Amino acid sequence: QNKIPKSHSSHFHHNFQPRSLVIPTIHKRYIKMKISLLALASLAFSANAFSTINTQKTGASIADQLKDRAYVTRDIKMPDPVPEEGQKEALELMKSGKMYRYNIAKGEESVVSMCEKEICDYTGFKYCVGLNSCGSALMLLLKTTGLQPGGKVLSNAFTFGAVPSAIEHARGKAVYVESNADHVMNTVDLEKKLKENPDCKHVLISHMRGKLADMDKVAEICEKYDAILLEDCAHSLGVFWQGEHSGHKGIACGISSQSYKMINSGEGGFLLTDDEEIAAQAAVIAGAYESLNSKHGTVPGPEYFEGKSVELPNYSIRMSNIAAAVIRPQIKTLEPRIELYNKRYNALTAKLEAAVGDHLYIPQLTPGVTRMVHDSVQFNLDHKFTPAMVEEFLKECGDHGLPVELFGHKSNARNFVNWGFAPAEDPLPETAAMLTTACDCRMPLQWDDEDFEDLGNVIIESIQSVLAKHDML
Protein backbone atom coordinates (compact mmCIF):
# COMPACT_ATOMS: atom_id res chain seq x y z
CA GLN A 1 0.00 0.00 0.00
CA ASN A 2 2.82 2.41 0.79
CA LYS A 3 5.10 1.55 -2.11
CA ILE A 4 5.73 4.11 -4.84
CA PRO A 5 2.46 4.28 -6.79
CA LYS A 6 2.20 3.66 -10.49
CA SER A 7 2.33 6.67 -12.77
CA HIS A 8 -0.95 8.16 -13.92
CA SER A 9 0.73 9.18 -17.15
CA SER A 10 -2.32 9.32 -19.40
CA HIS A 11 -4.24 11.49 -16.94
CA PHE A 12 -1.21 13.71 -16.47
CA HIS A 13 -0.63 14.37 -20.14
CA HIS A 14 -4.28 15.20 -20.60
CA ASN A 15 -4.44 17.73 -17.78
CA PHE A 16 -0.88 19.05 -17.47
CA GLN A 17 0.16 21.43 -20.23
CA PRO A 18 3.51 23.08 -19.41
CA ARG A 19 3.22 25.56 -22.25
CA SER A 20 -0.26 26.79 -21.29
CA LEU A 21 1.14 29.69 -19.28
CA VAL A 22 4.39 30.39 -21.15
CA ILE A 23 5.32 33.60 -22.90
CA PRO A 24 4.61 33.18 -26.63
CA THR A 25 7.74 31.99 -28.41
CA ILE A 26 8.19 35.04 -30.67
CA HIS A 27 7.63 37.49 -27.81
CA LYS A 28 9.90 35.53 -25.49
CA ARG A 29 12.72 35.41 -28.02
CA TYR A 30 12.29 39.09 -28.68
CA ILE A 31 12.72 39.79 -24.97
CA LYS A 32 15.85 37.65 -24.81
CA MET A 33 17.26 39.32 -27.93
CA LYS A 34 16.61 42.75 -26.51
CA ILE A 35 18.02 42.03 -23.07
CA SER A 36 20.94 39.69 -23.66
CA LEU A 37 21.83 40.01 -27.34
CA LEU A 38 20.80 36.48 -28.19
CA ALA A 39 22.79 36.34 -31.41
CA LEU A 40 26.03 36.56 -29.40
CA ALA A 41 24.89 34.93 -26.17
CA SER A 42 23.75 31.77 -27.91
CA LEU A 43 27.28 31.32 -29.22
CA ALA A 44 29.02 32.14 -25.95
CA PHE A 45 26.73 30.20 -23.65
CA SER A 46 25.47 27.15 -25.54
CA ALA A 47 24.56 23.88 -23.85
CA ASN A 48 28.15 22.75 -24.32
CA ALA A 49 29.63 25.94 -22.90
CA PHE A 50 28.36 26.20 -19.33
CA SER A 51 31.94 26.74 -18.20
CA THR A 52 32.31 29.69 -20.47
CA ILE A 53 35.30 31.51 -19.08
CA ASN A 54 38.81 30.52 -20.04
CA THR A 55 40.65 30.85 -16.74
CA GLN A 56 43.94 31.35 -18.57
CA LYS A 57 42.71 34.63 -20.05
CA THR A 58 43.47 38.05 -18.60
CA GLY A 59 40.98 39.87 -16.42
CA ALA A 60 40.10 42.19 -19.30
CA SER A 61 39.40 39.25 -21.61
CA ILE A 62 37.19 37.62 -18.97
CA ALA A 63 35.21 40.82 -18.65
CA ASP A 64 34.75 40.87 -22.43
CA GLN A 65 33.36 37.32 -22.36
CA LEU A 66 30.85 38.29 -19.69
CA LYS A 67 29.36 41.21 -21.59
CA ASP A 68 26.60 39.11 -23.10
CA ARG A 69 24.85 37.35 -20.28
CA ALA A 70 21.99 34.90 -19.95
CA TYR A 71 18.75 36.34 -18.55
CA VAL A 72 15.74 34.66 -16.93
CA THR A 73 12.44 35.98 -18.27
CA ARG A 74 10.00 33.76 -16.36
CA ASP A 75 8.35 34.20 -12.95
CA ILE A 76 10.24 32.16 -10.32
CA LYS A 77 7.22 32.30 -8.00
CA MET A 78 4.93 30.58 -10.50
CA PRO A 79 2.99 27.88 -8.57
CA ASP A 80 1.52 24.75 -10.12
CA PRO A 81 -1.97 25.45 -11.56
CA VAL A 82 -5.12 23.63 -10.48
CA PRO A 83 -6.16 21.03 -13.07
CA GLU A 84 -9.43 21.69 -14.87
CA GLU A 85 -11.08 18.82 -12.99
CA GLY A 86 -10.41 20.59 -9.68
CA GLN A 87 -11.59 23.93 -11.00
CA LYS A 88 -14.91 22.40 -12.08
CA GLU A 89 -15.46 20.59 -8.78
CA ALA A 90 -14.69 23.75 -6.80
CA LEU A 91 -17.13 25.72 -8.95
CA GLU A 92 -19.90 23.16 -8.38
CA LEU A 93 -19.30 23.37 -4.63
CA MET A 94 -19.57 27.15 -4.75
CA LYS A 95 -22.78 26.89 -6.75
CA SER A 96 -24.27 24.56 -4.14
CA GLY A 97 -22.81 26.46 -1.19
CA LYS A 98 -21.68 23.17 0.38
CA MET A 99 -18.12 24.17 1.17
CA TYR A 100 -18.22 22.99 4.81
CA ARG A 101 -16.97 19.43 5.14
CA TYR A 102 -19.82 18.32 7.40
CA ASN A 103 -22.61 19.72 5.22
CA ILE A 104 -23.53 16.31 3.83
CA ALA A 105 -26.54 14.03 4.18
CA LYS A 106 -26.42 10.72 6.00
CA GLY A 107 -24.60 8.15 3.92
CA GLU A 108 -22.85 10.76 1.76
CA GLU A 109 -19.12 11.32 1.71
CA SER A 110 -17.65 14.81 1.77
CA VAL A 111 -15.00 15.97 -0.69
CA VAL A 112 -12.58 16.32 2.23
CA SER A 113 -13.20 12.71 3.29
CA MET A 114 -12.54 11.49 -0.25
CA CYS A 115 -9.36 13.57 -0.37
CA GLU A 116 -8.19 12.19 3.00
CA LYS A 117 -8.69 8.66 1.72
CA GLU A 118 -6.63 9.39 -1.42
CA ILE A 119 -3.82 10.90 0.69
CA CYS A 120 -3.83 7.77 2.86
CA ASP A 121 -3.63 5.58 -0.24
CA TYR A 122 -0.69 7.55 -1.60
CA THR A 123 1.33 7.74 1.61
CA GLY A 124 0.41 4.38 3.18
CA PHE A 125 -1.08 5.71 6.45
CA LYS A 126 -4.26 4.39 8.10
CA TYR A 127 -5.61 7.69 9.39
CA CYS A 128 -5.73 11.21 7.99
CA VAL A 129 -7.28 14.49 9.17
CA GLY A 130 -7.51 17.40 6.70
CA LEU A 131 -6.63 20.78 8.19
CA ASN A 132 -6.32 24.44 7.28
CA SER A 133 -2.50 24.29 7.25
CA CYS A 134 0.50 22.10 7.92
CA GLY A 135 1.35 24.46 10.78
CA SER A 136 -1.89 23.35 12.44
CA ALA A 137 -0.93 19.73 11.81
CA LEU A 138 2.44 20.22 13.55
CA MET A 139 0.76 21.89 16.52
CA LEU A 140 -1.68 18.98 16.77
CA LEU A 141 1.15 16.44 16.55
CA LEU A 142 2.52 17.91 19.77
CA LYS A 143 -0.79 18.40 21.58
CA THR A 144 -2.05 14.90 20.79
CA THR A 145 1.16 13.25 22.01
CA GLY A 146 1.14 14.70 25.50
CA LEU A 147 3.25 17.86 25.27
CA GLN A 148 2.76 19.86 28.46
CA PRO A 149 2.99 23.65 28.74
CA GLY A 150 6.68 24.54 28.78
CA GLY A 151 7.67 21.07 27.63
CA LYS A 152 10.84 20.92 25.54
CA VAL A 153 10.76 19.97 21.87
CA LEU A 154 13.95 19.27 19.94
CA SER A 155 13.84 20.44 16.33
CA ASN A 156 16.10 21.48 13.44
CA ALA A 157 18.02 24.73 13.73
CA PHE A 158 17.52 24.99 9.97
CA THR A 159 13.87 24.95 9.01
CA PHE A 160 11.06 27.37 8.19
CA GLY A 161 9.79 29.63 10.97
CA ALA A 162 6.43 27.83 10.93
CA VAL A 163 8.01 24.89 12.78
CA PRO A 164 9.13 26.76 15.93
CA SER A 165 5.86 28.70 15.61
CA ALA A 166 3.91 25.43 15.86
CA ILE A 167 5.94 24.49 18.96
CA GLU A 168 5.11 27.88 20.49
CA HIS A 169 1.45 27.43 19.45
CA ALA A 170 1.38 24.12 21.34
CA ARG A 171 2.88 25.99 24.34
CA GLY A 172 6.15 24.09 24.11
CA LYS A 173 9.74 25.30 24.31
CA ALA A 174 11.94 24.77 21.24
CA VAL A 175 15.48 23.45 21.69
CA TYR A 176 17.47 23.44 18.46
CA VAL A 177 19.64 20.72 16.94
CA GLU A 178 22.45 21.57 14.52
CA SER A 179 21.92 21.13 10.78
CA ASN A 180 24.85 20.15 8.55
CA ALA A 181 26.11 21.09 5.08
CA ASP A 182 23.59 18.70 3.52
CA HIS A 183 20.79 20.76 5.14
CA VAL A 184 19.63 17.92 7.42
CA MET A 185 19.68 17.32 11.16
CA ASN A 186 23.05 16.37 12.66
CA THR A 187 22.34 13.09 14.46
CA VAL A 188 25.42 13.41 16.67
CA ASP A 189 24.12 16.73 17.97
CA LEU A 190 20.64 15.22 18.35
CA GLU A 191 21.97 12.65 20.79
CA LYS A 192 24.05 15.31 22.56
CA LYS A 193 20.98 17.54 23.02
CA LEU A 194 18.84 14.67 24.32
CA LYS A 195 21.57 13.84 26.85
CA GLU A 196 21.69 17.48 27.93
CA ASN A 197 17.90 17.69 28.16
CA PRO A 198 16.71 14.50 29.87
CA ASP A 199 13.30 16.10 30.48
CA CYS A 200 12.71 16.49 26.71
CA LYS A 201 10.21 13.91 25.44
CA HIS A 202 9.48 15.22 21.92
CA VAL A 203 11.58 15.42 18.76
CA LEU A 204 9.96 17.21 15.80
CA ILE A 205 12.25 16.68 12.82
CA SER A 206 11.71 18.87 9.77
CA HIS A 207 12.55 17.56 6.30
CA MET A 208 13.54 20.94 4.95
CA ARG A 209 13.22 21.15 1.14
CA GLY A 210 12.40 17.43 1.20
CA LYS A 211 15.84 16.42 2.49
CA LEU A 212 15.83 13.54 4.99
CA ALA A 213 18.45 12.93 7.68
CA ASP A 214 19.46 9.37 8.59
CA MET A 215 15.98 8.45 9.75
CA ASP A 216 16.98 5.02 11.03
CA LYS A 217 19.56 6.67 13.27
CA VAL A 218 17.13 9.40 14.34
CA ALA A 219 14.51 6.78 15.31
CA GLU A 220 17.14 4.74 17.15
CA ILE A 221 18.29 7.76 19.18
CA CYS A 222 14.72 8.77 20.02
CA GLU A 223 13.96 5.25 21.23
CA LYS A 224 17.15 5.19 23.30
CA TYR A 225 16.17 8.37 25.14
CA ASP A 226 12.43 7.62 25.28
CA ALA A 227 11.51 10.60 23.09
CA ILE A 228 8.46 10.71 20.82
CA LEU A 229 9.49 11.17 17.19
CA LEU A 230 7.26 13.36 15.00
CA GLU A 231 7.94 14.35 11.37
CA ASP A 232 7.35 17.59 9.51
CA CYS A 233 6.83 16.34 5.95
CA ALA A 234 5.61 19.64 4.53
CA HIS A 235 8.31 19.46 1.85
CA SER A 236 8.63 15.69 1.52
CA LEU A 237 5.41 14.49 -0.10
CA GLY A 238 6.57 11.82 -2.54
CA VAL A 239 9.97 11.31 -0.83
CA PHE A 240 10.72 7.72 0.21
CA TRP A 241 12.98 6.34 2.93
CA GLN A 242 14.03 2.72 2.42
CA GLY A 243 11.11 2.20 0.00
CA GLU A 244 8.49 3.66 2.37
CA HIS A 245 6.91 7.08 2.18
CA SER A 246 8.46 9.68 4.46
CA GLY A 247 6.75 10.14 7.81
CA HIS A 248 6.59 6.52 8.90
CA LYS A 249 9.67 6.52 11.16
CA GLY A 250 7.85 8.73 13.64
CA ILE A 251 4.51 8.08 15.30
CA ALA A 252 2.80 10.75 13.17
CA CYS A 253 3.56 13.44 10.60
CA GLY A 254 2.14 16.48 8.85
CA ILE A 255 2.13 17.35 5.14
CA SER A 256 1.30 20.62 3.39
CA SER A 257 -0.79 21.84 0.48
CA GLN A 258 0.43 25.44 0.63
CA SER A 259 0.95 26.98 -2.81
CA TYR A 260 4.66 26.17 -3.14
CA LYS A 261 4.33 22.50 -2.22
CA MET A 262 3.66 19.43 -4.40
CA ILE A 263 -0.09 19.82 -3.93
CA ASN A 264 -1.48 23.35 -4.07
CA SER A 265 -4.65 24.57 -2.39
CA GLY A 266 -3.26 27.96 -1.39
CA GLU A 267 -3.27 26.89 2.26
CA GLY A 268 -3.93 23.48 3.75
CA GLY A 269 -2.41 20.43 5.38
CA PHE A 270 -2.97 16.92 6.68
CA LEU A 271 -2.11 15.06 9.87
CA LEU A 272 -1.19 11.42 9.13
CA THR A 273 -0.74 8.57 11.57
CA ASP A 274 -1.39 4.90 12.27
CA ASP A 275 -2.13 5.66 15.93
CA GLU A 276 -5.83 5.57 16.87
CA GLU A 277 -5.58 7.93 19.84
CA ILE A 278 -3.67 10.62 17.94
CA ALA A 279 -6.11 10.45 15.02
CA ALA A 280 -9.20 10.67 17.23
CA GLN A 281 -7.86 13.59 19.24
CA ALA A 282 -6.75 15.43 16.09
CA ALA A 283 -10.18 15.09 14.47
CA VAL A 284 -11.98 16.43 17.55
CA ILE A 285 -9.60 19.33 18.17
CA ALA A 286 -9.77 20.23 14.48
CA GLY A 287 -13.54 20.59 14.79
CA ALA A 288 -15.35 17.22 14.85
CA TYR A 289 -17.57 18.23 17.77
CA GLU A 290 -20.50 16.22 19.15
CA SER A 291 -20.73 13.15 16.87
CA LEU A 292 -19.28 14.62 13.68
CA ASN A 293 -16.51 12.02 13.74
CA SER A 294 -19.09 9.75 12.08
CA LYS A 295 -18.73 11.90 8.96
CA HIS A 296 -15.04 11.05 8.64
CA GLY A 297 -13.77 8.08 6.64
CA THR A 298 -10.13 7.92 7.76
CA VAL A 299 -10.40 7.97 11.56
CA PRO A 300 -10.72 5.08 14.03
CA GLY A 301 -14.01 3.67 15.33
CA PRO A 302 -16.50 5.46 17.59
CA GLU A 303 -15.09 3.86 20.75
CA TYR A 304 -12.02 6.09 20.43
CA PHE A 305 -14.18 9.23 20.45
CA GLU A 306 -16.18 8.60 23.64
CA GLY A 307 -16.10 11.72 25.81
CA LYS A 308 -13.54 13.53 23.67
CA SER A 309 -15.80 16.32 22.40
CA VAL A 310 -16.31 17.32 26.06
CA GLU A 311 -12.69 16.85 27.17
CA LEU A 312 -10.96 18.51 24.21
CA PRO A 313 -11.28 22.02 22.73
CA ASN A 314 -12.55 22.73 19.23
CA TYR A 315 -10.03 24.92 17.40
CA SER A 316 -12.04 24.97 14.15
CA ILE A 317 -9.01 24.32 11.93
CA ARG A 318 -10.72 21.94 9.50
CA MET A 319 -9.99 21.72 5.79
CA SER A 320 -12.76 23.06 3.55
CA ASN A 321 -14.34 21.16 0.67
CA ILE A 322 -13.00 23.82 -1.72
CA ALA A 323 -9.39 23.11 -0.70
CA ALA A 324 -9.95 19.35 -0.99
CA ALA A 325 -11.56 19.73 -4.41
CA VAL A 326 -8.52 21.44 -5.91
CA ILE A 327 -6.11 18.99 -4.25
CA ARG A 328 -7.69 15.74 -5.43
CA PRO A 329 -6.77 15.86 -9.14
CA GLN A 330 -3.23 16.92 -8.22
CA ILE A 331 -2.71 13.67 -6.32
CA LYS A 332 -3.32 11.82 -9.58
CA THR A 333 -0.49 13.70 -11.32
CA LEU A 334 2.10 13.51 -8.53
CA GLU A 335 4.16 10.73 -10.11
CA PRO A 336 4.68 12.22 -13.59
CA ARG A 337 5.32 15.65 -12.08
CA ILE A 338 7.95 14.20 -9.72
CA GLU A 339 9.58 12.45 -12.66
CA LEU A 340 9.82 15.73 -14.59
CA TYR A 341 11.10 17.68 -11.57
CA ASN A 342 13.84 15.12 -10.94
CA LYS A 343 14.87 14.93 -14.59
CA ARG A 344 15.32 18.69 -14.76
CA TYR A 345 17.12 18.84 -11.41
CA ASN A 346 19.58 16.14 -12.41
CA ALA A 347 20.37 17.93 -15.67
CA LEU A 348 20.76 21.30 -13.94
CA THR A 349 23.00 20.08 -11.11
CA ALA A 350 25.19 18.08 -13.51
CA LYS A 351 25.84 21.27 -15.48
CA LEU A 352 26.50 23.32 -12.34
CA GLU A 353 28.96 20.70 -11.11
CA ALA A 354 30.74 20.59 -14.47
CA ALA A 355 31.04 24.36 -14.79
CA VAL A 356 31.50 25.67 -11.25
CA GLY A 357 31.77 22.55 -9.10
CA ASP A 358 34.94 23.89 -7.46
CA HIS A 359 33.05 26.96 -6.27
CA LEU A 360 29.90 25.47 -4.76
CA TYR A 361 28.62 22.39 -2.96
CA ILE A 362 25.31 20.75 -3.80
CA PRO A 363 23.82 18.99 -0.73
CA GLN A 364 23.94 15.21 -1.05
CA LEU A 365 21.09 12.81 -0.33
CA THR A 366 21.36 10.69 2.79
CA PRO A 367 21.94 7.00 2.00
CA GLY A 368 18.55 5.42 2.61
CA VAL A 369 16.58 7.97 0.59
CA THR A 370 15.21 5.73 -2.16
CA ARG A 371 13.25 8.46 -3.96
CA MET A 372 13.71 12.21 -3.75
CA VAL A 373 11.49 15.01 -5.04
CA HIS A 374 13.58 17.88 -6.41
CA ASP A 375 11.14 20.75 -6.92
CA SER A 376 13.86 23.28 -6.05
CA VAL A 377 17.65 23.47 -6.05
CA GLN A 378 19.94 24.35 -3.15
CA PHE A 379 23.69 24.90 -3.11
CA ASN A 380 26.29 26.23 -0.70
CA LEU A 381 28.76 28.70 -2.17
CA ASP A 382 32.34 27.82 -1.35
CA HIS A 383 33.63 29.43 1.84
CA LYS A 384 36.08 31.53 -0.15
CA PHE A 385 33.01 33.68 -0.83
CA THR A 386 33.07 36.42 1.79
CA PRO A 387 29.75 37.90 2.96
CA ALA A 388 30.32 40.80 0.56
CA MET A 389 30.98 38.39 -2.32
CA VAL A 390 27.84 36.43 -1.48
CA GLU A 391 25.85 39.66 -1.71
CA GLU A 392 27.52 40.41 -5.04
CA PHE A 393 26.52 36.97 -6.32
CA LEU A 394 22.90 37.47 -5.25
CA LYS A 395 22.84 40.89 -6.94
CA GLU A 396 24.34 39.45 -10.13
CA CYS A 397 21.60 36.81 -10.23
CA GLY A 398 18.86 39.33 -9.48
CA ASP A 399 20.12 41.74 -12.11
CA HIS A 400 19.75 38.92 -14.64
CA GLY A 401 16.18 37.99 -13.72
CA LEU A 402 16.86 35.25 -11.17
CA PRO A 403 16.01 36.03 -7.51
CA VAL A 404 18.18 33.51 -5.63
CA GLU A 405 17.51 33.46 -1.89
CA LEU A 406 20.15 33.19 0.83
CA PHE A 407 18.92 31.09 3.76
CA GLY A 408 21.16 33.07 6.11
CA HIS A 409 19.91 36.49 5.05
CA LYS A 410 19.07 38.76 7.97
CA SER A 411 15.39 38.81 6.98
CA ASN A 412 14.94 35.17 5.88
CA ALA A 413 12.32 33.30 7.93
CA ARG A 414 14.50 30.17 7.66
CA ASN A 415 17.32 31.81 9.60
CA PHE A 416 17.03 30.92 13.28
CA VAL A 417 18.24 34.37 14.36
CA ASN A 418 14.86 35.70 13.20
CA TRP A 419 12.84 33.52 15.57
CA GLY A 420 12.55 36.04 18.39
CA PHE A 421 9.37 34.32 19.60
CA ALA A 422 11.34 31.09 20.20
CA PRO A 423 15.02 32.10 20.38
CA ALA A 424 17.96 29.72 20.47
CA GLU A 425 19.56 29.83 23.91
CA ASP A 426 22.78 28.06 22.92
CA PRO A 427 25.18 28.78 20.04
CA LEU A 428 24.59 26.87 16.81
CA PRO A 429 27.91 27.35 14.98
CA GLU A 430 27.52 24.55 12.42
CA THR A 431 24.10 25.77 11.28
CA ALA A 432 25.16 29.41 11.33
CA ALA A 433 28.19 28.69 9.14
CA MET A 434 26.11 26.71 6.63
CA LEU A 435 23.45 29.42 6.39
CA THR A 436 25.97 32.12 5.43
CA THR A 437 26.47 30.60 1.96
CA ALA A 438 23.36 28.38 1.52
CA CYS A 439 21.36 29.43 -1.54
CA ASP A 440 17.87 28.42 -2.62
CA CYS A 441 16.11 28.59 -5.97
CA ARG A 442 12.71 27.28 -7.03
CA MET A 443 12.25 25.22 -10.21
CA PRO A 444 8.72 26.02 -11.42
CA LEU A 445 7.10 23.11 -13.21
CA GLN A 446 5.42 25.37 -15.78
CA TRP A 447 8.76 26.53 -17.12
CA ASP A 448 10.17 24.96 -20.27
CA ASP A 449 13.49 23.13 -20.50
CA GLU A 450 15.12 26.13 -22.17
CA ASP A 451 14.20 28.26 -19.15
CA PHE A 452 16.31 26.00 -16.96
CA GLU A 453 19.19 26.49 -19.40
CA ASP A 454 18.83 30.21 -18.67
CA LEU A 455 18.59 29.57 -14.93
CA GLY A 456 21.74 27.45 -14.91
CA ASN A 457 23.65 29.96 -17.04
CA VAL A 458 22.70 32.85 -14.78
CA ILE A 459 24.00 31.00 -11.70
CA ILE A 460 27.21 29.93 -13.46
CA GLU A 461 27.91 33.31 -14.99
CA SER A 462 27.16 35.13 -11.73
CA ILE A 463 29.63 32.95 -9.83
CA GLN A 464 32.25 33.46 -12.53
CA SER A 465 31.66 37.20 -12.66
CA VAL A 466 32.15 37.64 -8.91
CA LEU A 467 35.26 35.50 -8.85
CA ALA A 468 36.70 37.30 -11.89
CA LYS A 469 36.09 40.66 -10.24
CA HIS A 470 38.19 39.54 -7.27
CA ASP A 471 40.87 37.85 -9.43
CA MET A 472 39.94 34.47 -7.94
CA LEU A 473 38.91 32.58 -11.09
- d(CA 457, CA 378) in angstroms, rounded, equals 15
Among residues 13, 93, 17, which one has the least CA distance to residue 323? 93
Distance (Å, whole) CA 340 – CA 28: 23
Structure confidence at residue 164 (pLDDT): 98
Is the Cβ–Cβ distance between 127 and 299 less than 8 Å?
Answer: yes
Are the C-beta atoms of residues 327 and 115 closer than 8 Å to each other? yes
Look at residue 297 in the predicted model and tell me its pLDDT.
Answer: 96
What gap in Å lies between CA 87 and CA 355, rounded to an integer? 43
Q: Which residues contact 334 (CB under 8 A, 6 or more apart)?
A: 5, 122, 237, 238, 262, 263
DSSP 274: S
Task: Name the residue among 141, 143, 338, 332 with its Cα closest to residue 235.
Answer: 338
Torsion of CA 179, 182, 187, 188, to 10 degrees: -80
User: What is the structure's pLDDT at 107?
Assistant: 76
Q: What is the predicted pLDDT for the residue at 371?
A: 98
Q: What is the DSSP letter of 271?
A: E
Spell out the long-range contacts of 104-109 with Cβ–Cβ below 8 A and sequence spacing 24 or more: 104/295, 109/297
CA–CA distance, 303 with 448 (Å, rounded to integer): 53
Nearest to 212 by CA among 193, 237, 176: 237
Give the total residue count for the chain: 473
Q: CB–CB of 232/180 below 8 Å?
A: no
Distances (CA, A) of 390 to 406, 429, 437, 440: 9, 19, 7, 13
Distance of alpha carbon 62 from alpha carbon 312, whole angstroms? 67
CA distance to 60, 71, 183, 369, 449, per residue, from 459 (Å): 21, 10, 20, 27, 16
| Tens-place pLDDT, residues 144-172 | 999 999 999 999 999 999 999 999 999 99
Identify the segments of the chain with pLDDT beneath 50. 1-58
pLDDT of residue 68: 85
